[in-house]
Structure formats: structure tokens, C-alpha cells
Amino acid sequence: MLLPQYTKISDIFQYFFVYLIIVGILKDLLLCYNIIMLFELTKEIVEQIMFAMENQDENFLFDSKDCKLVESFLVDSDDNRYYCLPEWNSTKGFQLMEQFVSVQRNPTVKQELRSILVSGKGVFRNFKNVLKLYPEAEKNWFAFREKEMTRHIMQWYNVLRDAWGLEKLGEEPEENDDLVHGDFVFRNLCNEEAKEKLSLATSAHMAELKLNFPEELGVALEKLWQMQHNFPLSELLFSCVAETVDEDFAGCISASYCLPSTNRTVILTTFFVFNSYRGLGIGKELLSKCLFNLKNLGVRWVILSDMIVPDFLIPCLSRLGFTNFGGGYIADLIAE
């Protein structure tokens, strides 16, 4: 469109406002004669659409006038009040499961779910069955699926808004992803309670060492770990526990003075998260809370002397300021 020449800026603004008025009138006419039907995407509508997307046996349309879903064979699809739903099929569902597995931090859950995905038989059913064995991972899966499907619906809705001449909305669901703070309680322990909790964690950690390493190697590592971390309760400086909202023990951390004469140097004597709660950010939260409290107590150096540190924990340690000064190695002299 060619614009007339203007000598004043006020003329340009006047033309612009006239243009907006014309666009508004045209949109009102379109709505009046049902040429287009607008609707607001509420949380209730998102939930309806999400349910219909997962129903692979029936085909639904969205009725923008009554704001409800209707089965497609019951209506005239040429009526402008009805909209096709976002495309969703088993392939997209499988891709969603792959995405979820790729971001899992719990190595046990990740490996089991990955095995299901490559099995080729009963993938969707077996995927759900494995998650039922790990309640926290299952809860994360539901939250992950809802977030990703909501994003998919928002993309569909923004295509409609663009066709209506409206500004697109943000595609990120306004949800709180911090499940750790919503589902777990972190609290400092007094010495008497610390004795009980740290003993449980120590026993679980040593049992895990025996289970993960063969024969007498597991027994030796268990004894070595016990010797390294056998500090008297009187030297305990800080301890913290993570519990579910039902008060189930999820993990703990503790720090003790290395020597009576070193009041600015401590060693982490316990740092353990039970296997079923790993991959949820509990370890990071425990460690962050511990370091924060130790710094307030005047501590400068914190030592983590575990000979065997899991690979998945290394990035967390680096982000929180730990530096690697060597590591432990094991040689199998009869392995080929």
C-alpha cells in the first residue's frame, strides 16, 4: 500500500489510529457473523485438550462457542466455531518419553527406562510399570509430561492467535519446576537425632558399596569408607536431613572438624541420598545448605574425601566450588 506524503508527524499518527479503528471494526464484523470465533485458553480448556490428545481411539474438535470438546462425527466440521486439536500420536508420545529419559539424573531409573524404550514390545505399558516402582520419578514424569504437552498446546493456540491478528502468548507454562522444595523438607539436626539418622545413612551407604562391587572388594571398600568417616559425634559441626512430606528419610549430610586444632577446616563425614530419591536435586540442595551454614560458622575449607565419587555428582561439586585434587583408582589384575 502506498502512503500519501505527510509533512507533519501528527498526520502519520492520525493515519495510524484510523487504520487501527478500521481493523477493529473488521474484526468485530467477522466475529458478529461467525466468520471467526475467538476463545481464551484457560487452564480448564488445556486440561480438556490434553485428555483428548491422549485418547487415540476417538477424534475430538474444540467448540469455541461453548468452550468444550465434541466428538468430530457429531458436528459439521465446516462450521467456523469448531477447531481441530493439536496433532498428537504414538510417535510424539514416544519422543516425549525419550526426552524424559534423557534428562533423568538417577542412573538406575534412567537405565531401566532406556531398556524399555529399546525393547520394542509393550513400550508404553512397561514404561508406566517401571515408573510405579519409583514414586518420585513417576511424579516427575507426570509433571514433565504436563509441561511439555501444555507447551505443545500453547504453540497450537498461538497459530490461531496469529490468524486472528492477535499477539502471541508466551509458550512456557507458568508452573513451578522446583519439585524439591514442594515435596521435601530440609532441616538441621540436633546431635541426638543426628546420631540415629547418620547411622541409617552410613549403613545404607556401606550396603550399597558391597552390592555394587564384587566379592571381597565391596567388603574392603565398605571398611575403608567406615574408617575414613568414623568421626566422634562430639566433633560434629553440622548435619541436615531431607525428608518427604510424609517424613520418610530421603537423605542427609554432615560435616565434622578434621582435628580439634583446625577450626576452619572440616570434612564431609556423611553425604548420602537413598537410591529411590536420586535424580531429584536432593543432593545438590543438601550440599548447598551445608556449605551455606558452614560458611556462616567461619569455615573456609571443606574436604570431600570419598575415594569413589559417582560421575553424576561431579558437575554438582564443580558448580558449588569444589576442586578435584586427585582421585581413587581400582585395578583388576585378572581381568582381560
pTM: 0.51
Within its chain, how far is the Cα of 84 from the centroid? Answer: 30
Amino acid at 125: R
User: Residue 52 in contact with residue 27, Cβ under 8 Å?
Assistant: no
In DSSP terms, 252 is beta-bridged to 241, 272
Integer Cα distance of 227 and 216 in angstroms: 16
| 3-class DSSP assignment, residue 265 | strand
Amino acid at 145: R
CA dihedral over 54, 58, 63, 64, signed as positive or negative: positive
Q: Distance from first CA to last CA of the chain, Å, rounded?
A: 78
Per-residue confidence in pLDDT tens, the chain, 336 aa: 444 444 454 554 455 455 545 545 544 544 444 445 688 888 888 989 999 888 888 888 888 888 888 888 887 656 678 888 998 888 899 989 998 888 777 788 888 999 999 988 889 999 999 999 988 888 889 988 988 898 899 889 888 888 888 877 765 444 434 556 667 889 988 877 777 888 888 788 777 777 777 778 878 877 777 776 677 777 788 999 998 877 888 889 988 888 777 788 888 888 888 877 777 788 889 999 999 999 999 999 888 877 667 766 777 888 888 887 766 555 554 665
